[in-house]
């Protein structure tokens, strides 16, 4: 797994970052309006060989891969480069692939510095004018009529109507000028179609860069601008909105990288993913800049401020292809109806989303244990609630030291390396044993191992590892919800003991647990995050009461009560009043996305089966553009969720700085899970109302289950604050 830029790619990124920051100032962007073209910038780009970045080296180009071209376009997008760069990059590569005397002559003309070559994004039809980006300043436009690829040289400069965001848009009237044929037949047409797909990818990269820069501008302003004596970034209405947009933009960039790897490996979903990426990048840029402009308030509406430049282009760049929702429907046709597409050659690619290889032996052993104990007729599978906990399965894994194989052998583990641990845990997902009981117990065991006394370790760790006992979380209280540092449950020192009084809510899994990992206030006079201490309280202690609470997700949680519960000091975990440090370590393990992309795909797959077997409006439901677009949206969200979750793991593997990547993944995954489950249950209604564990029953079940995912493990509101602070540098918005 590698989600970090290699040395060569870093050089490419840094070079273009410096170039566009220096040569593409907002002043030059403004001077290039209304057409949206800076001739001097174009000559500088040609001198830098930027338009030739994808042309093969033997044709006189740079011969770089599509990944590096995307890094260039991202920086161009950040500075709103007023030049048809994506169009020219693709057009020049197309010339190189088709070859011939005409192509060579045009390559030489563009290299001279004053000629722009662009391409029409849709098939041309004689007598039907077409708006083409870059055509207002181009000497030639590459076109395809379905049989022949040619360069059309307009008899007179195309009309350049005033428009939303520059792009040097020109109105091409096919057949009105000179036409120079580059190639005919199926192969030439395939090259043109692949070029259009490459244009989508490069333009998506530019829109992602635009979105990221607009968020940086808004965040900087939100830190500088004060209202009512504080920076406006303290306001969660601003901070949380920008945090959402930052998550979406980061997700778009990771999705772009994932699309490139899918193309490189010729995966079946690659073509659909290109269309999904273009839709998502367009949507993300539009939303990010709209919210950034709102952050500037009335100033953002004035021509004096640069954010309005971004606002107009965020929409315009994507719309030159047409309605982005049509691209989403195309993604659905490609994925679900098998519509073919020509894919561009990606070239060299260092990015890798696959976890490191290794651990096959431990995975095979884990699979063998499950094969011997797991019974689909007896056990609840593919269920992420505590209802799926099975003691016989847990203890079989524990006996094989496979519950927590990363743990030292001393404490019931295998001392397994990280690759083996990941491979072993992947088998759990593979067979469908997804109970959270083991995950929670392991997380608490890690805290005991790191912060607990030797006596406590000896009491509980082996029992955890063998599957003999479980532990549960005692965080939430009725009066403070997700603000765990506001806990009112008291722990009072009495000699060598502590006396605990209070109440916890949503102590899920307590009915299976022997201990609760409890937050208690030990210094009522200290600031709330400095006056708490963590304890591991035996649930069989006198004074502990567990009362079941049933949820509409068919799950049981619990309210737990503590009345003069006396425990020895050995059950304290960490320093007195040092609970924040212990809690921070534990919470970081919860906030990584939750794997809900699997639920989203499972629900979408069920609706696909329904759509293939049913009709809407007298036609097969699966052929409806609306249904195809809605299904493609779910698969796109699932892909982005998976990318954000992969970043969490990759960051940990690389030991890189973590800018709230776990919270970001959880916010996106759970919010998308809720939105998509609601849309899917709507789409397949009324049959989707019927409960069950197969077919549309998984949609109904997913709809109920999704509701809680933005609450436990840290609410979306708390996690958005963390993203705003650590990813965007906004001031702290929490008490």
pLDDT score, position 145: 96
Q: How many CB atoms lie within 10 A of CB 693?
A: 12
Residue 735 has pLDDT above 60, yes or no: no
In a domain, 501, yes or no: yes
Q: Are residues 709 and 582 in the same domain?
A: no
- Angle (nearest 5°) at CA 435 between 429 and 437: 135
In a domain, 697, yes or no: yes
Q: Are residues 685 and 554 in the same domain?
A: no
Listed residues 175, 191, 207: the one ending a domain:
191
In a domain, 541, yes or no: yes
Domain of 542: which CATH number? 2.40.110.10
Q: Are residues 586 and 640 in the same domain?
A: no
Q: Are residues 64 and 186 in the same domain?
A: yes
Residue 133 has pLDDT above 80, yes or no: yes
Beta bridge partners of 534: 519, 573
pLDDT score, position 543: 97
Average pLDDT over residues 610-629: 96
Listed residues 564, 590, 616: the one ending a domain:
590
Residues of the chain with pLDDT > 90, as a percent, come to: 80
Average pLDDT over residues 287-294: 97
pLDDT score, position 159: 85
Average pLDDT over residues 636-651: 93
pTM strictly above 0.75: yes
Q: Are residues 581 and 630 in the same domain?
A: no
Average pLDDT over all residues of the chain: 93
pLDDT score, position 710: 86
pLDDT score, position 591: 56
Q: Phi/psi of residue 136, each to 5°?
A: -65, -20
Q: Are residues 501 and 573 in the same domain?
A: yes
Euclidean distance between CA atoms 435 and 387, whole angstroms: 8
| Inter-helix orientation angle 270-295/236-264, to 10° | 160
pLDDT score, position 426: 86
Beta bridge partners of 544: 562
Q: Using CA atoms in the order 239, 244, 249, 255, what is the torsion angle rounded to 10 degrees?
A: 150
In a domain, 506, yes or no: yes
Write the pLDDT tens digit of every residue in 39-64. 999 999 999 999 999 999 999 999 99
Structural domain that includes position 562: 471-590
Cα 457 to Cα 246, 410, 472, 534: the distances in Å are 41, 10, 17, 15
DSSP 551-597: -TTS-EEEEEEEEEEEEEGGGEESSTT-HHHHHHHHHHHH-S-TTHH
Task: Please state whether 307 falls in left (phi above 0), alpha (psi between -120 and 50) or beta.
Answer: alpha
Q: Are residues 29 and 169 in the same domain?
A: yes
Residue 155 has pLDDT above 90, yes or no: no
638 Cβ contact list (under 8 Å, min separation 6): 597, 600, 601, 604, 672
Q: Are residues 156 and 29 in the same domain?
A: yes
Q: Phi/psi of residue 574, each to 5°?
A: 90, -175
Cα 643 to Cα 181, 286, 377, 667, 714: the distances in Å are 42, 21, 34, 13, 20
pLDDT score, position 733: 78
Euclidean distance between CA atoms 118 and 98, whole angstroms: 15
Euclidean distance between CA atoms 135 and 158, whole angstroms: 7
Listed residues 590, 612, 627: the one ending a domain:
590
Q: Are residues 80 and 37 in the same domain?
A: yes
Q: Are strands 230-231 and 226-227 parallel, antiparallel or unpaired?
A: antiparallel
Beta bridge partners of 132: 170
pLDDT score, position 291: 97
Residue 302 DSSP symbol:
S
Number of compact structural domains in the chain:
3
Q: Are residues 485 and 507 in the same domain?
A: yes
Residue 159 DSSP symbol:
B
Q: Is the peptide bond before 241 cis (omega within 30 degrees of 0)?
A: no
In a domain, 653, yes or no: yes
And the tokens for 284?
């993300």
Write the pLDDT tens digit of every residue in 556-604. 899 999 999 999 999 999 999 999 889 877 665 555 667 889 899 999 9
pLDDT score, position 385: 80
Euclidean distance between CA atoms 727 and 719, whole angstroms: 11
Euclidean distance between CA atoms 690 and 699, whole angstroms: 9
pLDDT score, position 712: 75
Domain of 672: which CATH number? 1.20.140.10
Q: Are residues 146 and 13 in the same domain?
A: yes
Q: Are residues 139 and 159 in the same domain?
A: yes
Euclidean distance between CA atoms 193 and 180, whole angstroms: 19
pLDDT score, position 734: 60
> In this predicted structure, which of 12-16, 379-383, 508-512 has the lowest mean pLDDT?
379-383
In a domain, 275, yes or no: no
pLDDT score, position 451: 95
Q: How many CB atoms lie within 10 A of CB 178?
A: 11
**Is residue 16 helix, strand or coil?**
helix
Average pLDDT over residues 413-423: 89
Q: Is 623 exposed, middle or buried (0-12, 13-18, 19+ CB in 10 A)?
A: middle
Write the pLDDT tens digit of every residue in 206-224. 999 999 999 999 999 999 9
Of the candidates 142, 140, 109, the residue with the CA atom closest to the CA atom of residue 124: 142
Q: Using CA atoms in the order 418, 419, 424, 426, what is the torsion angle rounded to 10 degrees?
A: 110
430 confidence band (pLDDT: 50, 70, 90): confident
157 confidence band (pLDDT: 50, 70, 90): confident
And the tokens for 514?
């022997």
In a domain, 77, yes or no: yes
Euclidean distance between CA atoms 680 and 170, whole angstroms: 41
Write the pLDDT tens digit of every residue in 65-116. 999 999 999 999 999 999 999 999 999 999 999 999 999 999 999 999 999 9
Domain of 153: which CATH number? 1.10.540.10
Write the pLDDT tens digit of every residue in 435-466. 889 989 999 999 999 999 999 999 999 999 99
In a domain, 476, yes or no: yes
481 confidence band (pLDDT: 50, 70, 90): low
Average pLDDT over residues 409-437: 89
């Amino acid at each position: 797994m590698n989600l970090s830029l290699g040395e060569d790619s870093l050089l490419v990124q840094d070079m273009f970052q410096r170039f566009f920051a220096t040569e593409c100032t907002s002043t030059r962007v403004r001077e290039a309006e209304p057409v949206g073209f800076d001739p001097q910038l174009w000559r500088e780009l040609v001198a830098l060989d930027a338009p030739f970045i994808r042309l093969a080296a033997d044709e006189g180009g740079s011969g770089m891969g599509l990944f590096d071209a995307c890094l260039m376009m991202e920086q161009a997008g950040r500075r709103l480069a007023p030049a048809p760069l994506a169009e020219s990059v693709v057009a020049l590569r197309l010339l190189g692939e088709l070859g011939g005397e005409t192509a060579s002559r045009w390559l030489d003309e563009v290299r001279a510095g004053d000629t722009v070559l662009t391409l029409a994004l849709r098939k041309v039809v004689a007598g039907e004018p077409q708006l083409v980006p870059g055509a207002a300043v181009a000497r030639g436009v590459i076109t395809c009529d379905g049989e022949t690829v040619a360069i059309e040289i307009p008899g007179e400069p195309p009309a350049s109507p005033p428009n939303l965001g520059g792009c040097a848009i020109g109105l091409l009237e096919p057949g009105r000028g000179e036409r120079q044929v580059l190639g005919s037949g199926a192969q030439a047409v395939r090259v043109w179609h692949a070029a259009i797909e490459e244009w989508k990818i490069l333009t998506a990269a530019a829109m992602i860069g635009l979105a990221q820069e607009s968020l940086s501008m808004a965040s900087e302003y939100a830190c500088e601008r004060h209202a009512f004596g504080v920076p406006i970034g303290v306001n969660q209405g601003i901070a949380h909105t920008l945090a959402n947009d930052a998550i979406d933009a980061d997700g778009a960039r990771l999705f772009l990288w994932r699309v490139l790897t899918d193309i490189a490996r010729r995966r079946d979903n690659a073509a659909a993913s290109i269309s999904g990426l273009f839709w998502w990048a367009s949507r993300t840029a539009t939303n990010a800049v709209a919210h950034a402009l709102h952050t500037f308030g009335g100033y953002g509406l004035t021509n004096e401020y640069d954010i309005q430049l971004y606002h107009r282009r965020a929409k315009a760049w994507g719309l030159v292809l047409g309605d982005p929702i049509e691209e989403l429907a195309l993604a659905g046709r490609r994925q679900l109806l098998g519509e073919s597409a020509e894919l561009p050659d990606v070239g060299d690619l260092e990015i890798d989303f696959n976890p490191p290889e290794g651990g096959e032996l431990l995975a095979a052993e884990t699979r063998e244990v499950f094969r011997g104990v797991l019974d689909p007729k007896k056990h609840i599978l593919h269920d992420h609630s505590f209802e799926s906990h099975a003691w016989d399965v847990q203890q079989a894994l524990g006996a094989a030291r496979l519950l927590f194989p990363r743990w030292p052998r001393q404490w019931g583990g295998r001392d397994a390396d990280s690759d083996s641990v990941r491979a072993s845990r992947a088998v759990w997902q593979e067979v469908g044993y997804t109970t959270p009981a083991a995950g929670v117990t392991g997380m608490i065991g890690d805290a005991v191992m790191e912060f607990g006394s030797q006596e406590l370790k000896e009491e509980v760790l082996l029992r955890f590892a063998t599957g003999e006992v479980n532990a549960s979380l005692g965080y939430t209280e009725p009066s403070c919800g997700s603000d765990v540092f506001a806990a009112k449950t008291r722990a009072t020192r009495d000699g060598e003991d502590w006396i605990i009084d209070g109440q916890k809510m949503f102590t899920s899994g307590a009915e299976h647990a022997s201990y609760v990992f409890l937050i208690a206030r030990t210094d009522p006079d200290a600031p709330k995050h400095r006056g708490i201490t963590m304890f591991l309280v035996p649930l069989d202690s006198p004074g502990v009461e567990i009362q079941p609470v049933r949820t509409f997700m068919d799950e049981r949680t619990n309210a737990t009560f503590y009345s003069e519960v006396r425990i020895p000091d050995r059950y304290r975990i960490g320093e007195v009043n040092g609970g924040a440090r212990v809690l921070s370590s534990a919470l970081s393990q919860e906030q990584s996305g939750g794997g809900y992309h699997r639920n989203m795909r499972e629900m979408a797959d069920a609706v696909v089966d329904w759509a293939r077997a049913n009709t809407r409006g007298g036609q097969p439901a699966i052929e409806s553009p609306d249904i195809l677009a809605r299904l493609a949206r779910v698969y796109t969200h699932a892909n982005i969720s998976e990318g954000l979750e992969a970043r969490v793991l990759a960051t940990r593997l690389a030991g890189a700085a973590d800018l709230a990547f776990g919270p970001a993944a959880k916010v996106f995954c759970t919010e998308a899970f809720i939105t998509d489950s609601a849309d899917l249950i709507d789409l397949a209604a009324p049959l989707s109302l019927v409960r069950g564990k197969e077919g549309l029953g998984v949609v109904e079940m997913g709809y109920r289950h999704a509701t809680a995912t933005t609450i436990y493990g840290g609410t979306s509101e708390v996690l958005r604050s963390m993203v705003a602070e650590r990813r965007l540098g906004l001031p702290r918005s929490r008490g």
